[in-house]
Structure 1
């Protein structure tokens, strides 16, 4: 594997590790920065990668892909947790679909959390 490509792989691995740390520590700013770095390193790898990747390239890409999928699963779980908490606090999400008038259907009701 060329030194230049190995540097790019390490850059991507570092960005994925930082992304995972940011997710686990609830650090939104670090998550945004690490995701930006991850995307930049992916673009750079795409530009430098030979058309016919050899076995070492494929193995390294597979490892990094698994790390990325693991981070995606963590993000999905975190999103479900946040949505659950928001629902408990009385916030409802929009359905994501538009009605005939071009509006999203959002239930706007309040729900008491406690009784005084």
Structure 2
């Protein structure tokens, strides 16, 4: 079940970023700085990595990659909200922060689950 929440959370991220890409084109976040626009667009692929790794048995690598992605994503969204003053990120940032808390809270338990 814990892996299901993990995979579901990253799956939601893939869908959200893919929706933005399909709706707004190659630069869906052009209001932000170019490096953030590129990062958020790249999350379509990056968010897929932990899903694939976990489902193919590379669970520890999937957990580590997922944690790294979430720390970077929440940090980028904090920057967008508090420095760039992009208010529409307030709600999604709260949800992402909760998911980051889940990832951090369960990684120690899941890490021991399987040595791969």
TM-score range, shorter chain: 0.3 to 0.5
Per residue, is there more helix in 1 or in 2? 2
TM-score normalized by the length of structure 2: 0.39
TM-score normalized by the length of structure 1: 0.39
